[in-house]
Structure 1
Amino acid sequence: MIRQPDLFIAPPVYTNGKLKISSVLIANRGEIACRVITTCKKLGVTTFVVFTDADTNAPFVKLADKAHYLGDPESQPYQNGELIIEIAKRFGADAIHPGYGYLSENADFAAAVGSAGLVFLGPSPQTIAALGDKREAKEFLAARSSVPLVPGYGGLDQDPELLEQEADRIGYPVMIKASAGGGGKGMRIVYSKDDFRESLQRCTSEAGRLFGSAHCLIEKYFEAGKHVEMQIFGDGETAVSFLDRECSVQRRNQKIIEESPCPWLSAEMRQDMSNSALEIARLLKYESAGTVEFIVDIKNGRYYFLEVNTRIQVEHPITEEVVGIDLIALQIYVAGGGKLQALPQLQDIKQTGHSIEVRLCAEDPFHDFRPCTGTICQLKTPIDSKGEDSAGLRYELGVERGSAITVHFDSMISKIIVWAPTRAMAIAKMIRALKNTICFGLTTNQVFLQRILASPHFHDVSYTTALIPQNMDELTAPLDTSSVDSSTAIAALEISRLKPASTDRRSAFKSIPMSFRNQRAGKNMSAAGLVSTEITKSGQDEKIDMLVSKDDMGAYRVVRLDPVIPPTSAEEDVYFNKEGGPLVKRYYSAIRSKRETRFDSVSILESTVGARLPWSTGKLKVSFGGQIATYDFAVAFQGEFKKTIYVQESGSGIPILYTVSGLLAWAGMLDEKASEAQKANSRVSTCPMPSKILEVTAKDGTWVKVGDKLLVLESMKMEIQVTSSADGIVSMQVKEGDILPEGSVLYEILEGNEDSGTA
């Protein structure tokens, strides 16, 4: 069996018995800050971090030796290079590590760091200036190298009409991309001339806001293309290639699954691409870590240069796993004056085994990858249990239980990395890791990632960047709700009855129910309960209500209830009791449901529950007729009669959010549910998350059709286009520049015809 290579950590450089770099300020946050701190601790290097209001109690702040408040996240303080350098000098730091994003590829910042007497842990300002702007990089390489370039236009003239003519010349589809951009931002694929101007406007808008330059390139887009990159490293004299990574699994032009090595590449093409990357590194006398990105056209078997990222990449861990080199330690070694030729471990770089990384993100793939916000109420990994499967498993986390995912930063929760002897084993290992990862409190892409990894399209090594867009129907197919309807619902009911560990001193009034509603101890409240959940199926949210009851013999009965239907206007007219009539009708309609599952032998084998905090967490082990299931859970106590519970069966990889109520509370909620049903048919659109309105394209009072673009909002660094949900007269409720909380009304579609709207 192939053995995973040991991780080589380059030794720190000493001068006159002292560390050349003894302290580092990390000009970043989240998981990359934690990653840099971890290596620095191994080297005995002191770490300083800067943080905003959103990260006061974040893990990277706790891990660092010292932390300094940076400001309000709204002011984008991580882009304030002058302030960051001032804080670094105040701490007495020797160096600044930029991480990725923010100022990591800003040549002026790198130069300012050097001018302040500090070491920049990255390439020289001259190299960043030559390669950081995609247009200038292509001009530089076209004049000085033999590296093949993607056909396109990168001129200074940015007249929209000229750019459209260039797109016609190149031939559709084309990619519009920000010259100074990266990370999938400021990019649009355009398939037809009709969509070019709109896509260009969105790209220039994003580019100007995120990168300070609205300049864009137009390039040929290869529909049968693979995104393959080469990890390079230099010390100004010597350059080393740590070989390839494949990053073709992308949504919104952003990577979510990466692997190394690329399983499609031949040994010959791998060597040719490595040589091209090294040619660029030697041409520039490259220093520190860098990534040369290529597009590979699998139809003609050729590769083309895309860009150079002059920083550490998000996906660098998979290279570390297969070559056995700590890249952060190597950055510190080279920045301290160390030479690559002095390290025998770098003389014969080989890839051993296979590594895969996935990005667990707070987003909803069932709703066009909409970013999601919330507080993580439980976070557990297989490594926490130290099982035998934790070998070759790595989590790069920037959050913990209690952390909030906000609109101010990227939606990534964790990078999960596996290593195994073969690709097939690595895929299986990653699926197991995802199935046993617990992340409660907000919507994530956990199920979506599992589906990609299990898909035959991913197992076919010729997959391209079109894997997700071409297979969205399959990847977002309806979930199997059979377990939701039965056994897990029983678990949810039993979890709701567990007594949380007390954090308070005993009180004489402890046994008296809240609001003095003593019915809670009655038969109807203890013998049965309503378990509700909402399952996303093919982009639609389906509410499932189940009546779970337990008889005197210990048998459980789970009845799936029919949806609540509002009364017709005719029924409302004849009801003597306007409130009681509809209530009685819905109650008897519900209990007549024929969809019933019965469990005759159920026993609780083990249960643990933590203190009654905002969320109490624990485990429950249940035997269903001899079949044992274990559940992780988190419970929010909303009074005595209603509880919100996250439940995930061990090994399922599917977290389910339930609401558990007693029968009296359920009866009281029926009118509320009818109201919700009526709202579902309304023509009002609300803000899906805290957002800023970038553009309002629809004129108030005009006639619109389903799918017409109404406005553009921004959240979590992403622009989201909002379209009309119905035909009618639009009543806009927002204006450009508005900053809105979640749930704010964006627009309402009024009844009417095309003639009744304004022109």
Structure 2
Amino acid sequence: MFDTLLIANRGEIACRIIRTCRRMGIRAIAVYSDADVDAQHVRLADAAYHIGGSRPQDSYLRGDAIIAAAKRSGAQAVHPGYGFLSENADFADAVEAAGLVFVGPNAASMRKMGSKAGAKDLMHAAGVPVVPGYTGEDQSLDTLQGEADRIGYPLMIKAAHGGGGKGMRIVHAPLEFAAHLESCQREARNAFGRDRVLLERYIERPRHIEFQIFGDSQGQIIHLNERECSAQRRYQKVIEESPSPFVTPELRAAMGAAAIAAGRAIDYQNAGTVEFIVGQDGGFYFMEINTRLQVEHPVTEMVTSLDLVEWQLRVAAGETLPLPQDAIWSSGHAMEVRLYAEDPDAGFLPGSGKLTRLRLPETSSRVRIDSGVVEGDTVSIFYDPMIAKLIVRDSDRPRALARLREALAQCEIEGPKSNIEFLERLVRHSIVVAGDIDTGYLDRHLDEFIGARKRSADETRHLHALAAAAIRMTTGIRDAASPWALGDGWRLDGAGWTPLHLVSGAEDLRLSIRGHGGDFDVREGDAVSELRGLRLQDGWLSGRIGDSQRRVQVSGDGERILLHDGESRLQLRRASLYRLNDDDGATSGDRVAAPMPGRIVQVKIAVGDHVESGQLVMVMEAMKMELALKAPRAGVIAEVRVKEGDFVEADAALILLEPVVQEAAA
């Protein structure tokens, strides 16, 4: 076993690997970019080396800089984590050429999986079930159209190289094929530099089920059972769980054998994931092998009680697999969701910024948090906006779902917007509870999971009243013997009303409250809510509102409050009673503003240009994606405040249009 390991990654996976190294007595070396100088993985590591600028191509994608850091540190091995260089065969070769151990499969195995078409042919030859389709080199329209007609509709056109959901189209009828093919090829060419495609029969309402495999240098390959990842949005996984609620013991045995056969077909070593698409009839077909550790590996660890990173390190050091196939067992049910800095109501636009408040559940044998940030850290514009992975385990699936809901209710994130409310609605939805979701359900029914929750006027008013009471009960002097501790607005002629200004998102709430102890009246507009017998205990506020008894979860302090009614959350903060509205005089129709922090990639207009409403005027890059900024109306460009290459903050005015001149009435 080597004694020093360099981790060629960042964020939560780097922190995860460091903790395993510490437990195994291995010295952990971190690398970092300009943006990560104060990152948690840098603080946790035994030593850390700077490798370049903030953009991935200037740092974490620089294999030469990473290898140089490994040599300087005295490391004997390099762990790529996932993402960045983890599936780069050239990097794996370069690590080996430098006399270091690459913690992962060899480059030859990676290259066999580099082309979807080649991988599919290889698996078919190895007896692994594959979706009927066409993977030939003849890419002429006539040939592809003929093959599509032979395969039958619906079918999927897929880019032969690349991934991440790019270069994929579903075709439902022969007359649609040519247009979808052209679009798919263009996207593949732009994203991957190659426009070769393959055709596959499209499986209706498919499920995504993957098997964790492990191989060692002695030729042994085993699987660690399955994970289901069918809850997806635009081909990106949202919930991962193990075991799958769909898989029977017979299906598990058949899929496990196929996963091992797939690994043997490419002489696989170390950790990998064989991904299958599964039809409603139980038929399963090979999709791909991810030649690395997966983001969702903790659910496998939770049900098997194994440390997959430790297994990776032992196999990379030349040891045999720690356990044979017949010693692998699974207990209970585990589920994982990922907390992201993103805005589901704005098309899941990634966010960034300082985490001014970050409260996550306490960890235990049943609740696990994998995170690369803490309160006060910044979610950077340069990388994936993940805040944390939340993983839970319980004795069965219903209890695991209940534990996941409870854990999500304890999460508080302030600063950038987050996807917590989206996840809370998702894990309560009937399709998830029933375990019957398919990979396309979220995209077909996204409106069921986003947007403001519909509450009755009375329910909303009662929650506002409970929030006001909670703030009153958590503010002021705690000395019960002091008359000043009441803070009830008492006057000589009786209790007075105290005004209270709360903000919930973009909504201003003007309330008034009177009372003390557990008895309050809260006025909102012309309505008064009577709260009686309130008690705040162990984070729960209970009592009567009118004739009904209520109990809500409460956290926060005198300036902010979070209520959770068991299904959804209401977050409010206290604002000044005399706050003035800030307005720079520019309306949204007279300017183009940055929707988030990022870098300007293209400026497509100049001062004096005439533009039409919706015309592309600028392209910015943020969170590994490009955002097209368009003119809000027709007009003339009055000012361009940025140039290509500039970094900008969220809401910064980038382009101003000349004001609209109102013609005088005749």
Structure 1 equivalent of residue 569 of structure 2? 654
Structure 2 equivalent of residue 65 of structure 1? 46
Check conservation: 1:631, 1:650, Cα contact below 8 A.
no
Q: CA deviation at 1:692?
A: 4.0
Distance 2:522 2:138 in 1: 67
Structure 2 equivalent of residue 506 of structure 1? none
Is 1:111 the counterpart of 2:93? The answer is yes
Which of 69, 72, 78 in structure 2 is aligned with 1:87? 69
Structure 2 equivalent of residue 432 of structure 1? 406
Match of 1:661, SS state, is coil
Which of 504, 510, 517 in structure 2 is aligned with 1:547? 510
Q: CA deviation at 1:660?
A: 0.9
Match of 1:742, SS state, is coil
Q: CA deviation at 1:306?
A: 1.1
Instruction: Report the CA distance shift for 1:444/1:189 in structure 2 as closer, same or farther (over 3 A).
Output: farther
Which of 334, 340, 343 in structure 2 is aligned with 1:355? 334
Q: CA deviation at 1:313?
A: 0.4
Instruction: Report the CA distance shift for 1:731/1:604 in structure 2 as closer, same or farther (over 3 A).
Output: farther
Which of 330, 342, 364 in structure 1 is aligned with 2:343? 364
Q: CA deviation at 1:737?
A: 6.4
Structure 1 equivalent of residue 304 of structure 2? 323
Check conservation: 2:552, 2:563, Cα contact below 8 A.
no
Check conservation: 1:709, 1:724, Cα contact below 8 A.
yes
Which of 142, 166, 171 in structure 2 is aligned with 1:186? 166
Is 1:34 the counterpart of 2:15? The answer is yes
Check conservation: 2:120, 2:130, Cα contact below 8 A.
yes
Match of 1:476, SS state, is coil
Which of 530, 533, 536 in structure 1 is aligned with 2:501? 530
Distance 1:163 1:452 in 2: 39
Check conservation: 2:605, 2:618, Cα contact below 8 A.
yes
Which of 207, 210, 213 in structure 2 is aligned with 1:226? 207
Distance 2:498 2:338 in 1: 43
The within-5 A match list for 1:441-520 is 441-479=415-453, 480=455, 481-482=460-461, 485-492=464-471
Distance 1:691 1:216 in 2: 33
Structure 2 equivalent of residue 241 of structure 1? 223
Distance 1:702 1:218 in 2: 41
Is 1:718 the counterpart of 2:641? The answer is no
Is 1:743 the counterpart of 2:651? The answer is yes
Q: CA deviation at 1:348?
A: 3.0
Distance 1:488 1:685 in 2: 37
Instruction: Report the CA distance shift for 1:369/1:227 in structure 2 as closer, same or farther (over 3 A).
Output: same
Check conservation: 1:436, 1:651, Cα contact below 8 A.
no
The alignment covers a number of residue pairs equal to 623
Structure 2 equivalent of residue 205 of structure 1? 190
CA RMSD of aligned residues (A): 3.9
Structure 1 equivalent of residue 664 of structure 2? none
Match of 1:597, SS state, is strand
Deviations 1:291-332 (A, max 9, x none): 11111122x532221111110000011111222321111111
Q: 2:166 is aligned with what amino acid?
A: G
Which stretch of the first structure deviates more once superposed, 621-630 or 391-400? 621-630
Match of 1:451, SS state, is helix
Match of 2:384, SS state, is coil
Match of 2:246, SS state, is coil
Check conservation: 1:440, 1:634, Cα contact below 8 A.
no
Instruction: Report the CA distance shift for 1:435/1:649 in structure 2 as closer, same or farther (over 3 A).
Output: same
Deviations 1:173-193 (A, max 9, x none): 6656555534x3635445555
Is 1:422 the counterpart of 2:396? The answer is yes
Q: CA deviation at 1:492?
A: 4.8
Structure 1 stretches lacking a partner, 5+ long: 1-19, 385-389, 501-524, 535-542, 561-592, 608-618, 636-642, 753-759
Instruction: Report the CA distance shift for 1:287/1:399 in structure 2 as closer, same or farther (over 3 A).
Output: same
Deviations 1:84-142 (A, max 9, x none): 01111111111110000111011111111111111111011111111133343234334
Check conservation: 1:493, 1:548, Cα contact below 8 A.
no
Distance 2:516 2:67 in 1: 71
Q: CA deviation at 1:356?
A: 0.7
Q: Percent identity?
A: 35
The within-5 A match list for 1:19-30 is 20-30=1-11
Distance 1:119 1:288 in 2: 12
Q: CA deviation at 1:440?
A: 2.5
Distance 1:123 1:431 in 2: 37
Structure with greater helix percent? 1
Q: CA deviation at 1:661?
A: 0.9
Match of 1:486, SS state, is helix
Structure 1 equivalent of residue 555 of structure 2? 632
Distance 2:165 2:58 in 1: 17
Is 1:132 the counterpart of 2:103? The answer is no
Check conservation: 1:488, 1:649, Cα contact below 8 A.
no
Q: CA deviation at 1:397?
A: 1.2
Instruction: Report the CA distance shift for 1:464/1:404 in structure 2 as closer, same or farther (over 3 A).
Output: same
Which stretch of the first structure deviates more once superposed, 713-722 or 24-33? 713-722
Deviations 1:458-500 (A, max 9, x none): 12333201121122122125324445532224445776x6699
Q: 1:529 is aligned with what amino acid?
A: L
Check conservation: 1:235, 1:285, Cα contact below 8 A.
no
Check conservation: 2:600, 2:619, Cα contact below 8 A.
yes
Check conservation: 1:31, 1:398, Cα contact below 8 A.
yes
Q: 2:404 is aligned with what amino acid?
A: M
Q: 1:451 is aligned with what amino acid?
A: R
Deviations 1:390-418 (A, max 9, x none): 44111111111111111111011111111
Q: TM-score, normalised by structure 2?
A: 0.82
Match of 2:68, SS state, is helix
Check conservation: 1:190, 1:196, Cα contact below 8 A.
no
Structure 2 equivalent of residue 4 of structure 1? none
Check conservation: 1:149, 1:306, Cα contact below 8 A.
yes
Q: CA deviation at 1:357?
A: 0.7
Distance 1:43 1:528 in 2: 58
Instruction: Report the CA distance shift for 1:38/1:749 in structure 2 as closer, same or farther (over 3 A).
Output: same
Structure 1 equivalent of residue 663 of structure 2? none
Distance 1:224 1:448 in 2: 22
Is 1:598 the counterpart of 2:598? The answer is no
Structure 2 stretches lacking a partner, 5+ long: 479-495, 661-666
Deviations 1:691-712 (A, max 9, x none): 345568999635457xx87765
Distance 2:170 2:613 in 1: 24
Which stretch of the first structure deviates more once superposed, 396-405 or 480-489? 480-489
Deviations 1:1-25 (A, max 9, x none): xxxxxxxxxxxxxxxxxxx211110
Instruction: Report the CA distance shift for 1:604/1:451 in structure 2 as closer, same or farther (over 3 A).
Output: closer
Q: TM-score, normalised by structure 1?
A: 0.73
Distance 1:602 1:203 in 2: 64
Distance 2:344 2:591 in 1: 23
Is 1:283 the counterpart of 2:192? The answer is no
Is 1:396 the counterpart of 2:370? The answer is yes
Q: 2:425 is aligned with what amino acid?
A: R
Check conservation: 2:10, 2:41, Cα contact below 8 A.
yes
The within-5 A match list for 1:143-154 is 144-152=125-133
Q: 2:34 is aligned with what amino acid?
A: D
